Structure 1
Amino acid sequence: MLSLSAFDAAAIVVVLVALLGYLNHRYVRLAPSVALALTGALASVVVVALDEAIPSSDLSGLIRQFLSKVDFQTALLDGMLSFLLFAGALHVSLEHVKAGKGPILTLSTLGVVASTFLIGAGFHFIAQAVGITAPLVWCLVFGALISPTDPVAVLGVLKAAKVPKLLEATVGGESLFNDGVGVVVFSIVLAAASQAEPLTVGHAASLFALEAGGGALLGLVVGYVAFRAMRAIDNYNVEVMISLAVVMGGYALARPLHVSGPVAMAVAGLLIGNHGVALAMSDVTRDYLLKFWSLIDEILNAALFLLIGLEGVALTWTPALAAAALIAIPMILSARLASTAPFLVFWRRQLPLSTTLPILTWGGLRGGISIALALALPAGPMKDLILAATYVVVLFSVLVQGATMDRLVRRLRLT
């Protein structure tokens, strides 16, 4: 296969995303994330079947060679995550976040940490049960990357059903902040797994406080500077460029400051998506800016779903690997329930457990953030195990949980 530059790899991914998006919109009309996840899964099956039927084709080898040319750590952790988190934060209501600040703050911090340890311990047990050697610290890496939730499909259902605003705010706000917190926890545990940093409670807690707290402060600063700049002018081209400068400049600034870029982008996006949109933009600018970031979000999520579909082809599937990935599904749902229920007890009057727990558990979809973190892991046997489990869990999450959320809402009579 010819040598690929970074531009060539990006071009191939974008062309495939555009082609699949066209075919889906023209003939199938599924939700974009569902269509790309399903396409990736079907492509995996077709390629494996062709390799079995025609051994000389070696399509899997070609895909592996293509993927080896992509620097996922740089492309995803140092680039795409900042855009994804900022774009997601733009659409979260600050009023709703303030209304649900108690459960949102608790679930997106303590809930993520609890989920990381529950999933890590459960996955360690599953790996041993199927005969795979998986150190506990690497299982915690999987717990950290799979804990953040992506409720885009769920929020659409909840809005259509007109559920109580506090429940809608809790689902959306928790997902926004648990993305940033999850990336911080992931970075800490991955450093320990790679033997770059020790994993002690004191060290992890101090790193968490520094990165998350510093990231939130940086997000407030760059978001406020951008807000004042946008308020002083009325030119949609310049204001969209200012929002780009916030994401790229703010994320780049986070690294030398040793604070969390993802948390900074979530806070900056929340500030600009609320105060900026309401007080600093004309109707024309607001329309351009929100549509621009909606397009960025859709392109990047589509690319991630396509890439994990290709990674599914490149993985060498074994019965043990498949079994571990499948058993991880009910384990992760159980961990989601166990990591949210104890904290929600404190708000059971405002958020009745009989309705809130099913929504948060079944509606805790996994998506682009989990895929990005899994793809960015260093090559090795643990990446294969974690990537396989992430692939299966995200597919189930999107195709089954996302597709049945409306039925769950109707069954709970939230309408």
Structure 2
Amino acid sequence: MNSYLIITGLVFFSAVFGYINVRFLKLPLTIGLMLITILYTLGVLGLSYFDDTLLKAEVALIQQIDFEKVLMDYMLSFLLFAGALHANFQELKKQRWPIIVFATRGVLVSTFFIGTATYYLFQLLQIEISYINCLLFGAIISPTDPIAVLGILKKAKAPKNLETKIVGESLFNDGVGVVVFLTLIQISDTGGNSINAVGILELFGQEVFGGILLGVLIGWITLWLLKSIDDFSIEVILTLAAVMVGTVIAQKLHLSAPLAMVAAGLFVGNDRARDTAMSETTELYVDKFWELVDVLLNAILFVLIGMELLALTYNANYILAGLLAIPIILLCRYASLLLPVKLFEKKLKFTPYTSLIMTWGGLRGGISIALALSLSDEMNREMLLVMTYIVVVFSILVQGLTIEKVIKKLLPKTV
């Protein structure tokens, strides 16, 4: 099956399922597409008991797609640039310190809490697994997914300063989560013999700070080029080239491409910068182009997530562990937010119930599934993949559908 046929199939499913959602369900895009795709895939599995032709065709399609590579190496840069381009830079700047703490300390603490709690859960279920592999699960599931968060929060009507914290955290914590995950992978592979604090700090500095610096440089160059001409079509192409070239450079230099694209998007999207670099016509076309890219890639991504049902190993113990992990993960996230919220809430006038709303609004998505798919068999890949999938589905369908109601219940005067 060639690449064009695979892309055609994904766009076709995205278009059909998107139409059904807009025409009948009227749910947020990410939720609607994921729900419809899961129902469709379950229907295909049910039909396979009578005729497995359609199942074989869908399995063939999924087997041709390297989900981890497609998302982490290609789609994520475009999605994060588009999300950062439309983020409120001034609001993010005001909330920069809590966002930094949420995205760094929060991920580390959450990884440790979830890893430790699930280790004891496995002991109760009499499932053999090493502690380091439990920490890997913590690293996989701790980062909130910017793609899911950005898509759903647009309709949740959260107070602006609270929305900024959730969006800002989700834009940056995936890069930190990936570094933590890679570090734990190295520890697991070597037994910790070749890993030390200096090596971890070097990896963190190279991936995270190097990625951000590269993104700022790319953003500055892009703005300089935009200022020097006034042609909306070429200026749109320049922003596209910035993402593509920037991603390639980041990958070659072993820097965090996602963080580079977040930094570049914030730099180009900054209201003060774009007012001097773009005409009103250019600004309109750039925004609309990246909105379309965002919608298209989101549609394809969540169709892919729904179809990943076919990649799971259906084991009762794995499913039970995944279901029991949901409340553990929510409690661990809440606990990891308590200290930084207490630290900043008076100075920055936090919205009441910030920890609770950020816990429920911290959605997991494709990044977690991509990381789980990259595990080796020795790292309990099949079990952790099933657990991750269950948590992601719950996060998108249950938390995503109810976050607006939670906000209305807790903050009735602000909605």
Q: What TM-score, normalized to structure 1?
A: 0.90
More displaced stretch, 214-223 vs 349-358: 349-358
What's the counterpart of residue 11 of structure 2?
A: 14
The within-5 A match list for 1:114-129 is: 114-129=109-124
1:66 maps to amino acid: L
Among 71, 74, 80, the alignment partner of 1:76 is 71
SS in structure 1 of the partner of residue 310 of structure 2: helix
State the shift of 1:45 in Å: 2.6
Task: Kindly indicate whether residue 252 of structure 2 is the aligned counterpart of residue 221 of structure 1.
Answer: no
What's the counterpart of residue 303 of structure 1?
A: 300
The 3 A distance-change label for structure 1 pair 12 and 128 is farther
1:361 maps to amino acid: T
What's the counterpart of residue 36 of structure 2?
A: 39
Rounded to whole Å, the distance in 2 between the matches of 1:49 and 1:188 is: 41
Q: Is the 8 A contact 1:365 1:402 kept in 2?
A: yes
What's the counterpart of residue 50 of structure 1?
A: 47
SS in structure 2 of the partner of residue 134 of structure 1: coil
State the shift of 1:322 in Å: 0.8
1:259 maps to amino acid: L
2:127 maps to amino acid: I
The within-5 A match list for 1:245-264 is: 245-264=241-260
Rounded to whole Å, the distance in 1 between the matches of 2:362 and 2:343 is: 20
Rounded to whole Å, the distance in 2 between the matches of 1:286 and 1:278 is: 9
Deviations 1:259-302 (A, max 9, x none): 21111111111101115433211122112111211222222222
1:312 maps to amino acid: L
Among 72, 85, 92, the alignment partner of 1:97 is 92
Q: Is the 8 A contact 2:171 2:262 kept in 1?
A: yes
State the shift of 1:242 in Å: 1.1
The within-5 A match list for 1:182-221 is: 182-195=177-190, 198-221=194-217
2:311 maps to amino acid: A
State the shift of 1:153 in Å: 4.9
1:338 maps to amino acid: A
Rounded to whole Å, the distance in 2 between the matches of 1:10 and 1:135 is: 39
What's the counterpart of residue 341 of structure 2?
A: 344
Rounded to whole Å, the distance in 1 between the matches of 2:201 and 2:388 is: 26
Q: Is the 8 A contact 1:121 1:139 kept in 2?
A: yes
Rounded to whole Å, the distance in 1 between the matches of 2:189 and 2:278 is: 45
What's the counterpart of residue 128 of structure 2?
A: 133
Q: Is the 8 A contact 2:135 2:184 kept in 1?
A: yes
Rounded to whole Å, the distance in 2 between the matches of 1:225 and 1:196 is: 43
The 3 A distance-change label for structure 1 pair 120 and 273 is same
The 3 A distance-change label for structure 1 pair 105 and 119 is same
Deviations 1:335-379 (A, max 9, x none): 110111112111121345842111111111122333443345457
Task: Kindly indicate whether residue 387 of structure 2 is the aligned counterpart of residue 389 of structure 1.
Answer: yes
What's the counterpart of residue 314 of structure 2?
A: 317
What's the counterpart of residue 331 of structure 1?
A: 328
More displaced stretch, 188-197 vs 11-20: 188-197
What's the counterpart of residue 180 of structure 1?
A: 175
The 3 A distance-change label for structure 1 pair 218 and 133 is same
Among 274, 277, 298, the alignment partner of 1:277 is 274
Q: Is the 8 A contact 1:148 1:182 kept in 2?
A: yes
Rounded to whole Å, the distance in 2 between the matches of 1:336 and 1:65 is: 37
What's the counterpart of residue 404 of structure 2?
A: 406
More displaced stretch, 185-194 vs 338-347: 185-194
What's the counterpart of residue 170 of structure 1?
A: 165
The 3 A distance-change label for structure 1 pair 284 and 382 is farther
1:297 maps to amino acid: D
2:393 maps to amino acid: L
2:136 maps to amino acid: V
State the shift of 1:107 in Å: 0.7
Q: Is the 8 A contact 2:28 2:152 kept in 1?
A: no
More displaced stretch, 238-247 vs 404-413: 404-413
SS in structure 1 of the partner of residue 154 of structure 2: helix
Rounded to whole Å, the distance in 2 between the matches of 1:212 and 1:281 is: 29
Q: Is the 8 A contact 1:251 1:261 kept in 2?
A: yes
The 3 A distance-change label for structure 1 pair 190 and 39 is farther
| Gapped regions of structure 1 (runs ≥ 5) | none
1:250 maps to amino acid: G
Deviations 1:284-341 (A, max 9, x none): 2112111211222222222222122222133221111111111121111111101111
2:325 maps to amino acid: A
1:386 maps to amino acid: L
SS in structure 2 of the partner of residue 242 of structure 1: helix
The 3 A distance-change label for structure 1 pair 196 and 278 is farther
The 3 A distance-change label for structure 1 pair 347 and 365 is same
The 3 A distance-change label for structure 1 pair 73 and 324 is same
Among 288, 293, 301, the alignment partner of 2:285 is 288
1:79 maps to amino acid: Y
Q: What TM-score, normalized to structure 2?
A: 0.90
SS in structure 2 of the partner of residue 35 of structure 1: helix
1:69 maps to amino acid: Q
SS in structure 1 of the partner of residue 255 of structure 2: coil
What's the counterpart of residue 146 of structure 1?
A: 141
Task: Kindly indicate whether residue 27 of structure 2 is the aligned counterpart of residue 26 of structure 1.
Answer: no
Deviations 1:168-196 (A, max 9, x none): 32222112111222233233333444559
Task: Kindly indicate whether residue 51 of structure 2 is the aligned counterpart of residue 66 of structure 1.
Answer: no
- Provide the identity percentage: 40
Q: Is the 8 A contact 2:30 2:302 kept in 1?
A: yes
State the shift of 1:83 in Å: 1.1
The 3 A distance-change label for structure 1 pair 371 and 298 is farther
